[in-house]
Amino acid sequence: MSIYSVTKPGLGARLAALSKVVELGQGRLEAKLLDDASQLLTRAGERLKLSSDHTVVALAGGTGSGKSSLFNAISGLELSPTGVRRPTTARTHACVWGLEGAGPLLDWLQIQWRHRFARASALDKGESQLHGLVLLDLPDHDSIRALTDPEADRLIGLADMVVWVLDPQKYADASTHRRYVAELAGHDAVTVFALNQSDKLSTEEVAELVIDLNDLLRREGVSQPSVVPTSAVTGRGIDSLKGVIADAVSKRRAAIQRLDADVDRVERRLEQAMPVGAALAAPSSVDAARRVGLTDALCDAVGVPAVGEAMESVYASRSASWISWPFARMASAMSGDPLKSLRLGDLREEIRSLADCAVTAQSAEVDNAVQALSDGLTVGMNEVWRSSVHHAARSRAGQLPQALSDELSEVAPRLDRVPLWWRLLKVWQYLLVLAFVAGLAWVGFALVFGVFGAGRVPDSLALFGDAATLPWVGLMTASLLGLGALSAVASRNFVALGAASERDRLEREMRRRVGAVAESMVVEPVERELTRHHEFYTAMKALSG
């Protein structure tokens, strides 16, 4: 990152943003695009590390348009062999004005040693403005040889500035325009078009061609084409071409302009693939309402409310055998057991034990809950990001039902639990029954001995034989019955109350735990993805400045 800081802040920031985009876009952007972007990053890094005093200018063009002749004309020496056979040049030649510091640059450009030439600055007093120029004579890009040799392609991509050498015959070739010029539209500042071999035409014809070429280039998106008619044979236009090059060389900005234009191009492609648009408006985190919604849905999947209800009614049902008025129980038992009549009496206990089973989660509903969350979050998102959020949400969906079950089993109510007060109540009920029985005995005793005088009542039992107690005792006995029934009813209410509060507590606890599981297994991965999404588009925005 440090290397970016030394350059123009705009380019540095954009390259940083681009590297962020590449990093976050991994697997989400088209591999080709990512590849190109990372290549650009590498290239930018390398170029900016190398001599910024030099400007690499490449002469590119079709076979036979006179690149080598022009190269020789500019350098003033016969450095690159010219010829009539097509294609002539197979290896790139380089000529450097001002050699110091250019070595690594030429190495980077992979120019062979024997094709490197230097113009010692002492020799060219008149050409001091070209100091810092690295002029490349590229092989052609359109001959049958070029089909198998990407040399020209490679260097057109690396050069800081490209001079397209066109000639009257080939200036409108698709191989030049479609493959390079239209592709590199936006590189106006670092692209020059030399209309070579102008000596073959009359002045009027040259003028006509220049106009035609300008039109053509504008149609292709080169907004301000700079076209220089040249002739390597007569030397016409060479000076103005040199002037254009010297201008770029002296400003020392071509490398950065070139990279800037390249970033522009990648950015356009990125923008096309994943338009920023309203993407930044998409949520970068899961808000509270959605969390609640997810917890609710998961609770439903586990059946939290149903568990509560079940607990309530099971308590009510089970408590009956403890707290109900024994006589009422006897009465109902006498009405007969349907299971028994079905000869399924042995299942009764099984049915009762059913209530002991642990809480489990319905996996399909868990899936749907997770799906609903990610659907809600990804509305309007790019398809790729949408599916990656989905993927993140579902990343642990497989384990989720089990995790929920495990977590909730800890708090699940023991339905076979018998509270102490049920037992006490039962004791109390039986005490009442005892009392009732005793009362009955008393009444019987009093009737037998007191009323009918069946015998002599021992003194110690005189009280029991006293007929006068009879109404009172009878009343008391009867009220014992009432008291028993009353206490059964009251305790049933207490059971209901207790179950209700237990249910509340239980539901709260379960919901809390469900929420915690959802947080760690669903929300967190989703939020990571959402953050990534947000960062990606923030970087995209930074990239487009």
The span from the CA of 93 to the CA of 113, in Å, is: 9
| Contact present, 290 and 376 (Cβ < 8 Å) | yes
Residues 24, 74, 152, 307: which binds another protein (CB under 8 A)? Answer: 307
Cis peptide before 87 (omega within 30 of 0): yes
The span from the CA of 287 to the CA of 310, in Å, is: 32
The span from the CA of 426 to the CA of 406, in Å, is: 35
Measured from the CB atom, is 76 or 345 closer to another protein?
345
The span from the CA of 76 to the CA of 74, in Å, is: 5
Residues 303, 465, 515, 525: which binds another protein (CB under 8 A)? Answer: 303
Measured from the CB atom, is 237 or 401 closer to another protein?
401
Shortest spacing between CB 139 and another protein, in angstroms: 11
Q: How far is CA 263 from the centre of its chain?
A: 25
Does 359 participate in binding another protein (rule CB under 8 A)? yes
Beta bridge partners of residue 97, listed in sequence order: 119
Give the up-direction half-sphere exposure of residue 418: CA atoms within 13 A in the CB hemisphere. Answer: 11
Give 294-306 as a DSSP string. Answer: HHHHHHHHHTHHH
The span from the CA of 313 to the CA of 209, in Å, is: 96
The span from the CA of 104 to the CA of 51, in Å, is: 8
Shortest spacing between CB 259 and another protein, in angstroms: 27
The span from the CA of 228 to the CA of 210, in Å, is: 8
The span from the CA of 118 to the CA of 490, in Å, is: 110
Does 355 participate in binding another protein (rule CB under 8 A)? yes
Sequence-distant (6+) residues with CB within 8 A of 192 are: 161, 162, 163, 164, 226, 228, 241, 244, 245
Measured from the CB atom, is 178 or 505 closer to another protein?
178
Segment contacting another protein by CB under 8 A, of 2-10, 29-37, 294-302, 428-436: 294-302
Does 310 participate in binding another protein (rule CB under 8 A)? yes
* Token pair of 512 as six digits: 């809390």
The span from the CA of 487 to the CA of 208, in Å, is: 115
Does 24 participate in binding another protein (rule CB under 8 A)? no
Segment contacting another protein by CB under 8 A, of 91-99, 247-255, 352-360, 535-543: 352-360
Shortest spacing between CB 376 and another protein, in angstroms: 13
Measured from the CB atom, is 247 or 356 closer to another protein?
356
What residue has token string 């002296």?
A: 250
Residues 77, 90, 292, 354: which binds another protein (CB under 8 A)? Answer: 354
Measured from the CB atom, is 147 or 288 closer to another protein?
147
Residue type, 98: G
Burial class (CB in 10 A: 0-12, 13-18, 19+), 245: buried
Residues 32, 343, 414, 456: which binds another protein (CB under 8 A)? Answer: 343
Measured from the CB atom, is 2 or 341 closer to another protein?
341
Shortest spacing between CB 213 and another protein, in angstroms: 9
What residue has token string 């029991």?
A: 464
Residues 317, 479, 493, 531: which binds another protein (CB under 8 A)? Answer: 317
Residues 16, 99, 118, 216: which binds another protein (CB under 8 A)? Answer: 216
Does 341 participate in binding another protein (rule CB under 8 A)? yes
Segment contacting another protein by CB under 8 A, of 107-115, 258-266, 340-348, 431-439: 340-348
Shortest spacing between CB 355 and another protein, in angstroms: 4
The span from the CA of 294 to the CA of 519, in Å, is: 9
Measured from the CB atom, is 320 or 447 closer to another protein?
320
The span from the CA of 460 to the CA of 502, in Å, is: 52
The span from the CA of 146 to the CA of 143, in Å, is: 5
Residue type, 185: A
Shortest spacing between CB 202 and another protein, in angstroms: 9
Does 357 participate in binding another protein (rule CB under 8 A)? yes
Give 518-544 as a DSSP string. Answer: HIIIIIHHHHHHHHHHHHHHHHHHHHT
How many residues sit in the footprint of another protein (CB under 8 A)?
A: 78
Which residues, 367 to 406, sit near another protein by CB under 8 A? Answer: 367-368, 371, 375, 383, 387, 390, 401
| Contact present, 291 and 542 (Cβ < 8 Å) | no
Which residues, 480 to 539, sit near another protein by CB under 8 A? Answer: none
Which residues, 71 to 100, sit near another protein by CB under 8 A? Answer: 84-87
Nearest to 527 by CA among 401, 392, 403: 392
Measured from the CB atom, is 353 or 479 closer to another protein?
353
Residues 128, 313, 399, 479: which binds another protein (CB under 8 A)? Answer: 313
Which residues, 48 to 67, sit near another protein by CB under 8 A? Answer: 62-65
Segment contacting another protein by CB under 8 A, of 245-253, 357-365, 444-452, 523-531: 357-365
Residues 39, 78, 100, 178: which binds another protein (CB under 8 A)? Answer: 178
Residue type, 387: S
What residue has token string 């650009």?
A: 40
Shortest spacing between CB 303 and another protein, in angstroms: 3
Does 27 participate in binding another protein (rule CB under 8 A)? no
Does 28 participate in binding another protein (rule CB under 8 A)? no
Measured from the CB atom, is 101 or 305 closer to another protein?
305
Contact letters (x/-) for another protein, 113-152, by CB under 8 A? Answer: -----------------------------xxxxxx-----
Which residues, 31 to 50, sit near another protein by CB under 8 A? Answer: none
Measured from the CB atom, is 52 or 68 closer to another protein?
68
